[in-house]
């Protein structure tokens, strides 16, 4: 019997079962005596075992079988649930996830799991198992997807990534001081991305004589080795290049590696209602559609939108009532069709959010903190292209909140706060945008600390610092290489990252802002467009050329007299509602051939990015329109301040202006 035809279904269903197991294990940790949760986990594990055996993946089936035995013992109250026991089960789930990823990439799903199987057998007998620390001789760095992304981006920018194994002399007295000195040396020439054991363990001297750090730098291996060897009491330094092809550590975050699927949910509300009334689990009626088919459908529809614009223009020119009526009806229907196609591409953000509770639990345990993660609005839907990109920035912001935001239990007690810190991850729709907020009730951001660091890094001058609002000060932490951490930490990315977060979100046409109160907490708010391919724009004319400015960036339009233009710092500005707004003459920026003379009045489009505003000077406004955003292709990737092009109803091409690049 040929099993290959069932492989895709097997991979999808295995992922769903593993996700359920992960979620329910986290619930079990909160309610260790709840047998119903154990039964739920047991059911998923049992199904997974059966499917794996049928498909011939013996290793997967055997490990699941061993996990099932432990769950059965918990269910029958032979053993009790402890965090240590759950650590072992989570390790088994990690291995299962790695096997499923291997199968999805065409592998055989084999993996060495003897250690974790031995631990599960020990637990089954009733022995207490402590998860062994890795022996010093075999420290090996594995990277989660976020760290891997940083290493990859650094390599693209010409940096080298090295794993440095450092051994201190066995008679070294102040190991923590030596570690600090080594990090100081590395900081002068590069950045520490990760360390094993963690920095907290190194500072607490919870290691023998050896540790490994991953460093991103521009200096050579020999130079790095020489510099570290100069620190006294360092016995040995081994530097080797990071193999970026090595597999990333599995934490459930490498989903959607196989051909991506999207689920179209039918009658969701109605079924949710039924579920509430009957109290039974009702499965959604879904159909799996290859995402490429949806992309083709979207492209065909975009062509239709272009032709719709052309028809509307012809209809206006001919002024035939019957043609007019037909075109109007077609516009209405194609509008409905557009909504349906866009909704089919929509995926709930829970596909990204699902992997965070597990990560937060592990981080909290590593850092010795108590953290409660609240997820609100996971059913909010986003375009699949955005979903694919948004995972990394969110991982970084969550790590940031847990590492720098939430204080340790003793500090929180001293401040009169509950020991357990709360991190809220919230998604909601507003207008034509989706907002994702990460809120923590931690230490907040210190204005003084940020300004001090920004001045020392030369990001701003002392004179400017005094005039900045709190919000503008918080924006500074998105500057490249900025970090206010008192201690070096491998958790939140060491200041490599918040600038990456900002650029990733802006590349999706979104924005990120911060609100914070020292001692109370912080809120990071991400604003994202609902769809990236069909956007509302304001069409403008510059000489004989047409340009489109996205409505999402525009505050308003204005007509300005030439004599109202002022000069400040070699820049033409206007006074707009009490604010000084710089003027940008698009005809100069885009070098538009001059055909007609200037008027005494200027047409200005006021645009905003975050706190900054600018006035774009154009010749005339044409009006608002929905257009299809087409990329400029591979030849024109480096064109300044143009994000794409569109074809108008009369067949002309209008370039779409990237307001973010202009304001920068």
Q: What is the pLDDT of residue 166?
A: 92
**For range 448-459, the mean pLDDT:** 84
Q: What is the pLDDT of residue 290?
A: 74
Instruction: Kindly indicate the confidence band of residue 158, based on its pLDDT and cuts at 50, 70 and 90.
Output: confident
Q: DSSP characters for 99-143?
A: HHHHHHTT-------HHHHHHHHHHHHT---PPPPPPGGG-----
DSSP state at residue 218: S
Answer whether 508's CB lies under 8 Å from 434's CB. Answer: no
Contacts of 505 (CB under 8 A, 6+ apart): 390, 393, 511, 512, 526, 528
Q: What is the pLDDT of residue 349?
A: 86
Instruction: Kindly indicate the confidence band of residue 128, based on its pLDDT and cuts at 50, 70 and 90.
Output: low
Q: What is the pLDDT of residue 539?
A: 94
**For range 168-197, the mean pLDDT:** 85
Whether pLDDT at 604 is above 90: yes
Instruction: Kindly indicate the confidence band of residue 454, based on its pLDDT and cuts at 50, 70 and 90.
Output: confident
Closest CA to 371 of 387, 356, 386, 383: 356
Could you give the 3-state DSSP secondary structure of residue 230?
Answer: coil
Answer whether 164's CB lies under 8 Å from 141's CB. Answer: no
**For range 364-373, the mean pLDDT:** 89
DSSP state at residue 593: P
Whether pLDDT at 254 is above 80: no
Whether pLDDT at 282 is above 50: no
What number of other Cβ atoms are within 10 A of residue 138's Cβ?
6
Contacts of 300 (CB under 8 A, 6+ apart): none
End-to-end CA distance of the chain: 61
Closest CA to 365 of 136, 90, 17: 90
Contacts of 496 (CB under 8 A, 6+ apart): 150, 154, 191, 193, 216, 481
Question: Rounded to two decimals, what is the model's pTM?
Answer: 0.54
Q: What is the pLDDT of residue 488?
A: 44
Instruction: Kindly indicate the confidence band of residue 557, based on its pLDDT and cuts at 50, 70 and 90.
Output: very high
Instruction: Kindly indicate the confidence band of residue 465, based on its pLDDT and cuts at 50, 70 and 90.
Output: confident
Q: Does an H or E element contain 415, and which? A: none
Answer whether 124's CB lies under 8 Å from 69's CB. Answer: yes
Per-residue pLDDT tens over the stretch 400-435 = 889 888 999 999 999 999 999 999 999 888 766 788
Answer whether 511's CB lies under 8 Å from 647's CB. Answer: no
Whether pLDDT at 119 is above 80: yes
Instruction: Kindly indicate the confidence band of residue 266, based on its pLDDT and cuts at 50, 70 and 90.
Output: very low
Q: What is the pLDDT of residue 4?
A: 66
Closest CA to 196 of 251, 253, 137: 137
Residue listed under structure tokens 């001058």: 461
Give the Cα separation of 174 and 161 in Å (integer).
28
The β-bridge partners of 538 are: 549, 624
**For range 188-194, the mean pLDDT:** 86
Percent of the chain at pLDDT exceeding 70? 86
Give the Cα separation of 280 and 514 in Å (integer).
42
Instruction: Kindly indicate the confidence band of residue 532, based on its pLDDT and cuts at 50, 70 and 90.
Output: low
Q: SS in 3 state form for 418-485?
A: CCCEEEEEEEEEECCEEEEEEEECCCCCCHHHHHHHHHHCCCCCHHHHHHCCHHHHHHHHHCCCCCCC
Q: What is the pLDDT of residue 448?
A: 86
Q: What is the pLDDT of residue 606?
A: 94
Closest CA to 49 of 3, 99, 90: 99
DSSP state at residue 637: T
**For range 562-577, the mean pLDDT:** 88
Whether pLDDT at 654 is above 80: yes
Give the Cα separation of 595 and 597 in Å (integer).
7
Instruction: Kindly indicate the confidence band of residue 584, based on its pLDDT and cuts at 50, 70 and 90.
Output: very high
Whether pLDDT at 211 is above 50: yes
Whether pLDDT at 344 is above 60: yes
* Torsion angle (degrees, nearest 10) of CA 56, 61, 62, 68: -160
Identify how many contiguous H helices and E strands the chain contains and give both numbers: 22, 24
CA angle 198, 203, 205 (to 5 degrees): 95
Q: So which residues are the catalytic ones?
A: 46, 68, 400
Give the Cα separation of 556 and 606 in Å (integer).
5
Residue listed under structure tokens 């003897």: 114
**For range 292-300, the mean pLDDT:** 83
Answer whether 131's CB lies under 8 Å from 180's CB. Answer: no
Give the Cα separation of 97 and 109 in Å (integer).
10
Give the Cα separation of 457 and 466 in Å (integer).
16
Whether pLDDT at 66 is above 50: yes
Cis peptide bond prior to 197, omega within 30° of 0: yes
Answer whether 186's CB lies under 8 Å from 228's CB. Answer: yes
Q: Strand 160-168 relative to strand 234-241: parallel, antiparallel, unpaired? A: antiparallel
pLDDT greater at residue 292 or residue 297: 297
Percent of the chain at pLDDT exceeding 90? 14
**For range 523-540, the mean pLDDT:** 82
Per-residue pLDDT tens over the stretch 349-358 = 888 888 888 8
Mean pLDDT of the chain: 81
**For range 13-39, the mean pLDDT:** 88
Q: DSSP characters for 371-390?
A: EEEEEE-TT-EEEHHHHHHH
**For range 173-191, the mean pLDDT:** 86
Give the Cα separation of 95 and 100 in Å (integer).
9
Closest CA to 225 of 174, 268, 164: 164
- Range of 92-96, 140-144, 153-157, 200-204 with top mean pLDDT: 92-96
Measured between alpha carbons, how far is residue 414 from residues 232, 407, 409 in Å?
38, 10, 9
The β-bridge partners of 577 are: none
Give the Cα separation of 332 and 115 in Å (integer).
63
**For range 278-291, the mean pLDDT:** 57
Whether pLDDT at 486 is above 60: no
Chain-centroid distance, C-alpha 573: 37
- Range of 277-281, 284-288, 330-334 with top mean pLDDT: 330-334
**For range 317-346, the mean pLDDT:** 86
Instruction: Kindly indicate the confidence band of residue 335, based on its pLDDT and cuts at 50, 70 and 90.
Output: confident
Whether pLDDT at 561 is above 50: yes
Q: What is the pLDDT of residue 326?
A: 93
Q: What is the pLDDT of residue 250?
A: 40
The β-bridge partners of 210 are: 167
Could you give the 3-state DSSP secondary structure of residue 60?
Answer: helix
Q: What is the pLDDT of residue 422?
A: 93
DSSP state at residue 630: B
């Amino acid at each position: 019997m040929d099993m290959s035809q069932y492989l895709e279904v097997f991979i999808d269903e295995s992922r769903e079962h593993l996700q359920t197991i992960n979620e329910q294990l986290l619930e079990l940790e909160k309610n260790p005596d709840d047998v119903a949760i154990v039964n739920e986990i047991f059911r998923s594990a049992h199904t997974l075992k059966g499917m794996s055996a049928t498909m011939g993946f013996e290793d997967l089936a055997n490990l699941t079988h061993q996990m099932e035995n432990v769950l059965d013992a918990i269910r029958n109250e032979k053993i009790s649930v402890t965090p240590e026991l759950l650590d072992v089960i989570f390790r088994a789930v990690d291995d299962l996830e790695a096997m499923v990823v291997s199968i999805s990439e065409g592998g055989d799903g084999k993996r060495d799991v003897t250690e974790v199987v031995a631990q599960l057998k020990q637990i089954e007998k009733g022995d207490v198992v402590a998860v062994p620390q890795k022996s010093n001789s075999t420290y090996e760095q594995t990277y989660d997807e976020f760290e891997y992304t940083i290493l990859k981006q650094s390599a693209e920018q010409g940096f080298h990534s090295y794993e440095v194994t450092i051994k201190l002399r066995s008679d070294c007295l102040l190991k923590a001081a030596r570690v600090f000195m080594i990090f100081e040396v590395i900081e002068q020439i590069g950045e520490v991305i990760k360390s094993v054991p963690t920095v907290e363990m190194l500072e607490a001297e919870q290691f023998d004589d050896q540790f490994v750090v991953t460093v991103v730098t521009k200096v050579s291996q020999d130079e790095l080795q020489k510099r570290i060897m100069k620190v006294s009491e360092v016995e040995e330094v081994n530097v080797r290049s990071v193999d970026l092809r090595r597999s990333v550590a599995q934490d459930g975050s490498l989903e959607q590696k196989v051909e991506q699927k999207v689920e179209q949910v039918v009658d969701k509300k109605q079924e949710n209602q039924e579920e509430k009334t009957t109290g039974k689990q009702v499965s959604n009626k879904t159909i799996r559609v290859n995402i490429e088919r949806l992309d083709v459908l979207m492209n065909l529809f975009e062509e239709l939108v272009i032709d719709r614009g052309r028809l509307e223009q012809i209809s206006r020119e001919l002024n035939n009532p019957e043609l007019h009526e037909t075109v109007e009806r077609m516009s209405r229907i194609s509008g409905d069709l557009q909504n349906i196609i866009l909704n089919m591409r929509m995926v709930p953000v829970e596909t990204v959010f699902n992997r965070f509770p597990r990560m937060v639990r592990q981080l909290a345990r590593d850092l010795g903190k108590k953290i409660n993660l609240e997820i609100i609005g996971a059913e909010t839907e986003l375009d699949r292209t955005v979903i694919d990109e948004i995972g990394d920035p969110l991982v970084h912001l969550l790590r940031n909140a847990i590492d720098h935001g939430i204080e340790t239990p003793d500090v929180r007690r001293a401040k009169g706060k509950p020991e357990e810190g709360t991190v809220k991850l919230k998604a909601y729709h507003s207008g034509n945008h989706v907002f994702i907020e990460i809120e923590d009730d931690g230490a907040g951001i210190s204005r003084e600390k940020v300004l001090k660091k920004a001045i020392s890094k030369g990001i701003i001058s002392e004179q400017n610092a005094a005039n900045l609002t709190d919000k503008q000060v918080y924006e500074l932490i998105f500057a490249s290489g900025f970090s206010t951490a008192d201690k070096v930490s491998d958790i939140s990315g060491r200041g490599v990252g918040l600038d990456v977060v900002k650029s990733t979100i802006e590349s999706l046409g979104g924005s990120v802002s911060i609100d914070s109160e020292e001692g109370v907490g912080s809120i990071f708010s991400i604003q994202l467009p609902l769809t990236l391919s069909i956007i509302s724009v304001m069409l403008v004319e510059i000489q004989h050329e047409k340009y489109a400015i996205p409505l999402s960036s525009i505050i308003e339009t204005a007509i300005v007299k030439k004599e109202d233009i002022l000069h400040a710092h070699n820049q033409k500005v206007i006074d707009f509602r009490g604010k000084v707004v710089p003027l940008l003459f698009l005809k100069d920026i885009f070098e538009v051939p001059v055909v007609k003379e200037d008027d005494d009045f200027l047409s200005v489009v006021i645009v905003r990015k975050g706190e900054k505003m600018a006035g774009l000077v154009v010749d005339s406004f044409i009006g608002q329109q929905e257009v299809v955003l087409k990329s400029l292709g591979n030849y024109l990737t480096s064109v300044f301040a143009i994000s794409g092009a569109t074809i108008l109803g009369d067949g002309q091409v209008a370039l779409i202006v990237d307001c973010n690049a202009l304001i920068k």
